[in-house]
Structure 1
């Protein structure tokens, strides 16, 4: 059996984790085992789709790879960010010369923002109960 050439990248954002495999091809997209025409069919919101495929756009590799993505956790917005980082890291495996371009657009940095935990005595993380003077 011939070995399939592929490039792998893991991306995380909030609680979402994406495992992205890039394989030379014509731009097919497979998310969680299901074929899609484009990422727009999975993410629904065009802004999330654009955010996710941005690494392919800035490196002019859109349509050169088939995407196989396993993503779980979080919501669609977080998953979009996770896929973006995963694609960027996989592109680095493909070609290290893309690093300056990806770095310029800050695509290799994991977004550290997480949901702040709720504290006791408060309604939410920072929201205090309404104060009544009398």
Structure 2
């Protein structure tokens, strides 16, 4: 069984992913994102939006149906206005890349990434039913 570290400062230390991921190198290590390519449909063509699951200071998570394979996914996107900020965009893409490389039963897998028709990056993850953190705290 895996336990959380007792060291409270551990949550603030960077995760060692085996890569150098400074702000200037994040974009260089990622494949180019495109709104719509010959290889695939745009976000709005591929995913049917079924509603908001949550939001934070930088992003929002939507419940979507992936029309290609018929499964529900959690789609995380930068909030409107954040996509044009290079630091926010770099942080978001780094988050997607790191989460996509991690494999653990307690970590939701990333299925893919792309760019919304309005230019905001997104990534699709497994949708996991459960209670919200707020519900757990108030229980």
TM range (shorter): under 0.3
TM-score by length of 2: 0.25
- The normalised TM-score by structure 1 is 0.26
Q: By percentage of residues, which structure has more helix? A: 1
Which structure is higher in RCO with an 8 Å CA cutoff and minimum separation 6?
1
